[in-house]
């Protein structure tokens, strides 16, 4: 793994941990608003993002380089309505997708085939994460500020395994 590839992988460990931190903040915020199902969904998202950070760091070690853990910024504490929370999550996932694609370009330019293969999993994962989050945004947009509707969606998200 050369320095350019190292840099993008190392920075992405930090970005995945920031994502985890942001989803944790969203989970706590939603719990505080009594949307317990949505809070549960966000807590699982938090755990997935930590798993992504670990997956990248482990790959770096397997390639014989040492990940350097960088500082994680504090996420916001307030996110607005449930629709606004999930819209922000979707925007964030789109941003992460653009980062993963930029990593892939670096790996391709540097002819780092192992890094390219490793990134295929992340490229697919981003498609799934954007799709799931967009689906929730659509459902929340449909119910608007109807409380019954909001609690139906809350119950659906609470069933996430
Ligand atoms: Fe991720
Ligand atoms: Fe994600």
Query: Ligand 2 centre from 55 Cα, in Å?
Result: 13
Fold of 3-158: Ferritin (1.20.1260)
Query: Ligand 1 centre from 60 Cα, in Å?
Result: 16
Q: What is the largest CA-CA distance in the chain?
A: 54
What is the C-alpha separation between 154 and 36, in angstroms, rounded?
A: 7
| Sign of the alpha-carbon torsion through 34, 37, 39, 40 | positive
Provide the whole-model pTM.
Answer: 0.96
| Sign of the alpha-carbon torsion through 62, 63, 65, 69 | negative
Ligand nearest to the CA of 89: 2
What tens-digit pLDDT sequence spans the chain (161 residues)?
A: 999 999 999 999 999 999 999 999 999 999 999 999 999 999 999 999 999 999 999 999 999 999 999 999 999 999 999 999 999 999 999 999 999 999 999 999 999 999 999 999 999 999 999 999 999 999 999 999 999 999 999 999 999 99
Q: Where are the domains of the chain?
A: 3-158
Beta-carbon count within 10 A of 147 CB:
8
**Are the beta carbons of 46 and 57 closer than 8 angstroms?**
no
Query: Ligand 2 centre from 121 Cα, in Å?
Result: 12
Q: ∠ CA(39), CA(44), CA(49), 5° rounding? A: 120
């Amino acid at each position: 793994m050369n320095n350019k590839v190292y840099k993008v992988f190392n920075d992405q460990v930090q970005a995945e941990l920031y994502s985890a931190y942001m989803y944790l903040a969203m989970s706590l915020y939603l719990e505080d608003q009594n949307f317990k199902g949505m809070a549960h969904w966000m807590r699982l998202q938090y755990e997935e993002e930590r798993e992504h950070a670990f997956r990248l760091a482990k790959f770096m070690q397997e390639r014989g380089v040492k990940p350097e853990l960088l500082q994680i910024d504090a996420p916001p504490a307030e996110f607005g309505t449930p629709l606004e929370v999930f819209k922000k999550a979707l925007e964030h996932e789109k941003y992460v997708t653009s980062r993963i694609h930029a990593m892939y370009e670096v790996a391709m330019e540097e002819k780092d085939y192992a890094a390219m293969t490793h990134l295929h999993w992340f490229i697919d994962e981003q498609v799934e994460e954007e799709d799931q989050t967009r689906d929730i945004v659509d459902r929340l947009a449909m119910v608007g500020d109807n409380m019954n509707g909001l609690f139906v969606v809350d119950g659906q998200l609470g069933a996430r395994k």
